[in-house]
Amino acid sequence: SDENGRVEYNIVSGDDDSVFEIDLDNGTIRTRRALDRETKSLYNLVVMASDQARLPHHRLSSTVQVSVVVKDVNDMWPEIVSPKEASVGENAAPGTLVLAVKAVDKDEGRNGYVEYRLGGTGASAFSLGPVDGLLRVSQPLDRERTANYSLEVTAKDRGDPPRSTKTTLLVTVLDMNDNSPV
């Protein structure tokens, strides 16, 4: 076909970082490098299609907006952002809140949904809400028997594959005047 029938494609805006390339002849858009949804999740490109008439003032063109939505992959690990130390009185009743464990995961959807698990020495003295991350006393405490608990907290996302982070939480049992004078 002649030049009027030959169409050439160009990205005219929306690609400030030169992330994309376009095939001049067929308009196929490809990435030049890996995209990161946590950095930028949407690109709005303006693509121009122009015929190649010999005389520039005879050339016809049209533009279209192309939205590129970057889908999430589970590439971020949960990060535990709450304090790593807490204290509780030895007279705290079962159910007493000790600490709200908080983790963030920058992925979206189920990839960023975090669940919590408790382990470590003395973990049976406490409970950790798997969804809300609330650490509570689960049985009577006695500072004279155990003054410090070293608990292992795991934050795990629901991605595929799942990603998890562990940290050690130190709980200090505060002494209360619960012994008679001698």
pLDDT at 99: 97
What does the pLDDT look like over 11-49, one tens digit per residue? 999 999 999 999 999 999 999 999 999 899 999 999 999
The SS3 of residue 30 is: strand
Q: Between vectors from CA 104 to CA 99 and to CA 106, what angle results, nearest 5°? A: 175
Report residue 3's pLDDT band, with 50, 70 and 90 as the boundaries.
low
pLDDT at 122: 86
Examine domains 3-69 and 79-174 and report if their fold is the same.
Answer: yes
Report residue 120's pLDDT band, with 50, 70 and 90 as the boundaries.
confident
Q: Percent of the chain beyond pLDDT 70?
A: 95
Q: What is the mean pLDDT of residues 105-120?
A: 95
pLDDT at 52: 84
Q: Between vectors from CA 100 to CA 171 and to CA 75, what angle results, nearest 5°? A: 105
For the chain, what are the domain ranges? Answer: 3-69, 79-174
Judged against a pLDDT cut of 90, whether residue 2 lies above it is answered with no
What does the pLDDT look like over 135-160, one tens digit per residue? 999 999 999 999 999 999 999 999 99
Sequence-separated (6 or more) residues with CB below 8 Å from residue 88: 96, 98, 137, 141, 171, 172, 173, 174
List of E strands, the chain: 7-13, 20-22, 29-31, 42-51, 61-69, 79-80, 85-89, 97-100, 103-104, 114-120, 126-128, 134-137, 148-157, 164-174
Q: Max CA-CA distance within the chain?
A: 109
What does the pLDDT look like over 50-94, one tens digit per residue? 998 888 788 899 999 999 999 989 999 999 999 999 999 999 999
CB 91 within 8 A of CB 176: yes
pLDDT at 180: 61
Q: State in words which class domain 79-174 has.
A: mainly beta
Q: State in words which class domain 3-69 has.
A: mainly beta
